[in-house]
Amino acid sequence: MQVGKFSNRLNEKFLIKRICNKKTLDAFNAFHIVDEYTEPVRIEPNKDGGYEVLDWKLAGNNTFLEQDIPKSSIDRMPIRIAASKLKGVVSPVAKYHSNTRLLSGESNMYKCDYFRLQYYPPDHFLSSFRKSRPAITCKPVTDLFINGKLQQSNSKTSINETQMKQLSSKFQNVIMNTKSKIARDYAVRRNHLRLDIKQWFIHCWCNLHGPEAIDEQIKVAKNGQENVTNLQYIDDHLNSKPGIAKDGYYMYNCTVFPDDTNKVEYREKVRESIKIIADKTWVDIYASSKKNSHKGLNWAHNINSRVNISVLNQYLSSAEVPYKIIKSKL
C-alpha cells in the first residue's frame, strides 16, 4: 500500500510503500507517517466552547504559573491537547539525514537570538516521513552556561554566546565537580522547551488557517479537483496560498531556553517565524541559492536526487520500520 511519495530533479518519483506482514504490524503506531488523507492537527474548542483564557496564560503569559491551575483544567486545555499531537519525522530517516549530511542552506528560513528554524516542504524526502500534519521538532543545540543569563556589570543584557562558551571552557574543572548549570542537561527543561514552543506554534499555525488549507487538499484528494469548487485556502496547484500556514516539517534548533525573563519575546519570535514562512510564495520557498539558480534546480528535489534509496531502506529495515521506498518514473 502506497502512503507517500517524493520526487527529484530527474523526473523520478519515489513511492513509500507500507510493508504489511505479521512482524511489522505492531510497528504501525510507532512509525505511522502521514498520507494525503491524514487530518491536520487542529485546536478543538473545549466543552465550554472556548480555549483562550486558560491556554493563553499557560502558553506564554508570565502572570500565572502552571502549578496554580487545577489539574482538571489543564487536562481539557485544547491548545495543550493539540500541541501533544504534533510529532516529528520517523527517527531512522532523521538519522539518515543527519549522518549523510544532506543539508541545504535554503531550508534555513528564520533565525533569531533564541533559535534557528529550518523548514522542509512536504515533497522533501525528510518531510515525506513526517508523523503529523504539520510536523515539528524542538531541540537544544548549544551548551550555554546558566542559559546565557550571566549579566555584565555594566549592562542589562546577557553576554553573548561566544563569551558564555569561553567562560564555560575556562571554568570547566570547577563546573564538572558541581551540579550542571547547562539547561539542556535537565530533562524537565527539555520537556518544557518542547511544550512551550509546540503550544505557541500550533496556536499561531491554526490562526493562519493551516488546518483549513489541509482540509481543502483532502477534499480534492477524495473527490477530484474538477468536482471541488470555491477553494479558499489553496491555489490551482493545490498548495496553500500566501498568508496561509504551510504544511511540512518545522525543525527548531534552539540556542536558548524559554524562561521567565524571555518567554513573552520568545513566543513572539516563534509566531514571527511561522508568519514569515506562511507569507512566502511557493516559488520563494523552493528558490535555490545563487550557486544553483542558473541550473534551474528546485533545492528540495536536488536533495531528493542525492538520497541513496538502498541505504535509506537499510536504515528503515534495521529499525523494523514497516515502510520501503521504491523508485518509479513519473
Quick check: is 151 in a domain? no
Whether residue 126 is contained in a domain is answered as yes
Q: What is the pLDDT of residues 238-275, one digit of tens each?
A: 999 999 999 999 999 999 999 888 999 999 999 999 99
Helix (H), strand (E), coil (C) string for the chain: CEEEEEECCCCEEEEEEECCCCCCHHHCCCCCCCCCCCCCCCCCCCCCCCCHHHHHHHCCCCCCCHHHCCHHHHHCCHHHHHHHCCCCECHHHHHHHHHHCCCCHHHEEEECCCEEEEEECCCCCCHHHECCCCEEEEEECCCCEHHHCCECCCCCCECCHHHHHHHHHHCHHHHHCCCCCEHHHCHHHHHHHHHHHHHHHHHHHHHCCHHHHHHHHHHHHHHCHHHCCCCCCECCCCCECCCCCCCCEEEEEECCCCCCCCHHHHHHHHHHHHHHHHHCCHHHHHCCCHHHHCCCCCHHHHHHHCCCHHHHHHHHHHCCCCEEEEEEEC
Segments forming the whole domain that contains residue 127: 21-54+77-146+164-323
Q: If you average pLDDT over residues 89-94, what whole number do you get? A: 94
Distance of CA 33 to the CA centre of its chain: 14
Does 287 map to a domain?
A: yes
Is 155 inside any structural domain?
no
- Categorize the per-residue pLDDT at 293 as very low, low, confident or very high, splitting at 50, 70 and 90: low
| Each residue's pLDDT tens digit, 165-220 | 565 565 555 555 555 545 555 577 788 899 999 999 999 999 999 999 999 999 99
Give the number of domains in the chain.
1
In a domain, 42, yes or no: yes
Average pLDDT of the residues in 56-61: 46
Within-domain flag for 313 = yes
Q: Is residue 66 a part of any domain in this protein?
A: no
Confidence label for 5 from pLDDT (cuts 50, 70 and 90): low
Q: What is the mean pLDDT of the chain?
A: 79
* Residue 48 clears pLDDT 70, i.e. is over it: no
More confident: 39 or 12: 39
Tell me, what's the pLDDT at 153?
39
Q: Please indicate, yes or no, if residue 36 is contained in any of the structural domains.
A: yes
What is this structure's pTM? 0.80
Q: Which of 24-38, 40-54, 81-95 has the highest mean pLDDT?
A: 81-95
